[in-house]
């Protein structure tokens, strides 16, 4: 199973992005509290969330909102992880060629491996499916997993489009308030103008610094998981055909960086 690890660079990226605006504001004015408006935040986030709920089923929207926090703990795919997965399948291939696939099934069950690709492949191979037929079925599973989880990225991308729009709506509301007060006390013009400008500012910031980067992070992570699953699929297909471990090694090495290539001749 692919583990999730805290992404320090994602956290630092958000802190650095927000920090740039904060430092610029503090250096530009002593009255920096004019850039804080709860009404503007409510208008932008509330409108964005409402429009997203109208556009998508509620359970997918809630899952996408949770994925905003998930970008701090993305699924970790490294060259080392790819190599470890391939080496596990290579060891299983040795056992499969000596003792049969039943012994491999026992290992998977004993180690309590819950990875969907491995579990699905195990069930298929145990029923006699192998080779190109096995590859076709696993490919369908890989793509269906990606398509289901890609919904989160699409929803976040949609939210990135909604946020500036509701910022503009807030701007229109603020301008209406400002114009309404121009015939009276001029002191009441300021709050309306501030609301008009801040909602646009918040809408752009939420879109460009939160929603859009989060959507890209989810999309990139899914591509990395797909790549890992393809390598795993190729290894399992060769295992199902009873190929020797060195052939699996050579097939896997074409997918991973040269400095992470598997060399079974160096293993004891």
User: Which residues are CB-neighbours of 192 under 8 A, at least 6 positions away?
Assistant: 174, 175, 176, 177, 178, 179, 180, 181
Give the rounded percent of residues in the chain with a pLDDT score beyond 70.
93
pLDDT of residue 191: 64
> φ and ψ at 193, to 5 degrees?
-65, -40
Model-level pTM? 0.83
Give the Cα separation of 215 and 156 in Å (integer). Answer: 5
Give the Cα separation of 199 and 169 in Å (integer). Answer: 8
**268 pLDDT higher than 50:** no
Give the Cα separation of 243 and 39 in Å (integer). Answer: 65
Model confidence over 167-193: pLDDT tens digits? 999 888 878 877 776 666 656 666 666
Model confidence over 30-48: pLDDT tens digits? 877 778 888 889 999 999 9
Sketch the domain layout of the chain as residue ranges. Answer: 8-69+79-256
């Amino acid at each position: 199973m692919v583990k999730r690890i805290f992404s320090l660079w994602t956290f630092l990226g958000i802190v650095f992005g927000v920090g740039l605006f904060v430092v610029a504001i503090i250096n530009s004015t002593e009255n920096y509290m004019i850039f804080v408006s709860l009404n503007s935040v409510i208008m932008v986030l509330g409108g964005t969330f409402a429009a997203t709920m109208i556009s998508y089923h509620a359970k997918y929207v809630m899952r996408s909102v949770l994925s905003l926090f998930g970008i701090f703990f993305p699924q970790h795919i490294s060259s080392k992880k790819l190599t470890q997965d391939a080496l596990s399948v290579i060891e299983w291939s040795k056992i499969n060629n000596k003792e049969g696939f039943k012994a491999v099934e026992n290992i998977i069950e004993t180690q309590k491996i819950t990875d969907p690709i491995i579990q699905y492949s195990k069930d298929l191979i145990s029923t006699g499916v192998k080779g190109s037929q096995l590859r076709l079925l696993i490919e369908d599973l890989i793509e269906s997993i990606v398509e289901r989880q890609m919904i989160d990225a699409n929803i976040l991308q949609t939210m990135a489009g909604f946020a500036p729009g509701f910022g503009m709506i807030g701007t229109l509301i603020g301008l209406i308030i400002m114009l309404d007060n121009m015939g009276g006390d001029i002191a009441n013009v300021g709050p309306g103008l501030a609301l008009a400008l801040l909602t646009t500012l918040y809408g752009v910031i939420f879109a460009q610094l939160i929603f859009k980067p989060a959507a890209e992070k989810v999309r990139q992570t899914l591509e990395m998981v797909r790549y890992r699953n393809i390598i795993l699929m190729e290894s399992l297909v060769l295992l199902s055909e009873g190929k020797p471990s060195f052939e699996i090694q050579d097939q896997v090495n074409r997918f991973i960086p040269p400095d992470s290539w598997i060399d079974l001749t160096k293993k004891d």
